[in-house]
Amino acid sequence: MDMMRIEFVMAMGLLLGCAAVLGACGPAKADDARQAELKKRLTPLQYEVTQLGGTERPFQNEYWNQHEAGVYVDIVSGEALFSSQDKFDSGTGWPSFTRPIAEGALGTHDDRTLGVSRAEVRSRKGGSHLGHVFEDGPPPTGLRYCINSAALRFVPAKELEKQGLGHLRERFEKKAAAPKTETAILAGGCFWGMEDLLRKIPGVVNTEVGYIGGKLANPRYEDLKKAGLGHAEAVRIVFDPARLSYEELLGYFFRMHDPTTPNRQGNDVGAQYRSVVFYTTEAQKQTAEATKRKTDASGKWKRPVVTEIVSAAEFTLAEDHHQDYLEKHPGGYTCHFLRD
């Protein structure tokens, strides 16, 4: 009797064990089949990034410098992840966004593969590895979603309906309907570094560098070295006041250069490098004066703020090779950076 019980128990154990093995093998085979299908459908880099948590090279990927209006979807599942309206140039060489396209579109996980804690970002439905999120982004979220292009597929706004994303089309139609812009002109030293920082601010639509505030009608770069002419290197900024106020723009301006050094920024010395706000409206003048007083009283600068606030004169575009100089020459000279 005891032997029968032992054999029964052993038999039941074998059956349960087999069932457990079969149960485990089922999903494993299904997962193997899925991975095989993904290897056929994706490029080797797309598979490495989304399935193995890889990272593509900065500045050598498809979307890092793309500015077209549209939606970025998961290359695996097709679910909408990010909007071009929340994309900004972080200078890292990877596509960067301030937020996902909708709450709940992403999941985050603690990633310690490099020995430090990082917030890994995955798509909610597809489970694809996308990149990481950092707390060093611009307003209004203060977040920077650093994403691999290889994990994304871009859908232009005009094709959203055709690709089953028609419910997202309205947000781009509203934006395209006569956007209101405002123009600001700021001088704070060498315009290469100024423009490089200004063009990355969310809400800035366009930037151009040029010359303003002097005696010549059409000054050239060499003219700025001549004493007594009074021209300043400046950046003309077109911005969307619905996304970036003039006061917020000036907040960046007073952080990216030293407004306490007359006719100088870093190693650059001369009147062309002076700190000036060239206002284009009376409202801009009042905002500039208030922001200057606030900056002076903040205690962040040991010397008085000497930024001039004057009415904008004629702005002359600088030569082509000066436009977007640091974008054309990464690692080129600049003495500008955003201070805390």
Q: How far apart are the first and last CA of the chain?
A: 82
Interatomic CA distance for residues 82 and 308, integer angstroms = 41
Q: Which two tokens stand for residue 236?
A: 């003309």
pTM for this model (two decimals)? 0.53
Whether residue 11 is contained in a domain is answered as no
More reliable by pLDDT, 170 or 153: 153
CA torsion through residues 202, 206, 210, 212, sign: negative
In a 3-state reduction of DSSP, which class is residue 132? strand
- pLDDT above 70 covers a percentage of the chain that reads 89
What amino acid occupies position 68?
E
**Residue ending a domain, choose from 175, 200, 224:** 175
Is the pLDDT assigned to residue 155 strictly greater than 60?
A: yes
Interatomic CA distance for residues 236 and 218, integer angstroms = 16
Average pLDDT over residues 21-42: 68
CA torsion through residues 288, 281, 248, 96, sign: negative
User: 18, 25, 190, 335: which is the annotated catalytic residue?
Assistant: 190
Looking at the structure, tell me whether residues 170 and 187 fall in a common domain.
Answer: no
More reliable by pLDDT, 196 or 171: 196
Whether 268 contacts 193, CB under 8 Å? no
Q: Determine the structural domain holding residue 82 and report its residue range.
A: 70-175
Do β-strands 152-156 and 144-147 pair in parallel, antiparallel, or remain unpaired? unpaired
Q: Which two tokens stand for residue 254?
A: 């007073």
Catalytic (active site) residue 146: yes
pLDDT for 321 = 93
pLDDT in tens, 211-230: 998 888 899 988 888 877 88
**Residue 97: CATH number of its domain:** 2.170.150.20
**Residue ending a domain, choose from 175, 197, 217:** 175
Whether residue 145 is contained in a domain is answered as yes
pLDDT in tens, 176-216: 455 689 999 999 999 999 999 999 999 999 999 999 988 88
Catalytic (active site) residue 335: no
Q: Which two tokens stand for residue 98?
A: 């301030």
Looking at the structure, tell me whether residues 108 and 207 fall in a common domain.
Answer: no
Total domains, the chain: 2
User: 18, 25, 146, 335: which is the annotated catalytic residue?
Assistant: 146
**Residue 261: CATH number of its domain:** 3.30.1060.10
Give Cβ neighbours of residue 51 (< 8 Å, ≥ 6 apart): 35, 38, 128, 129
Whether residue 100 is contained in a domain is answered as yes
Angle between helices 246-256 and 191-198 (to 10 degrees): 130
Maximal CA-CA distance, the chain:
115
Q: Which two tokens stand for residue 73?
A: 């979807």
pLDDT for 28 = 53
**Number of Cβ within a 10 Å radius of residue 221:** 14
Whether residue 37 is contained in a domain is answered as no
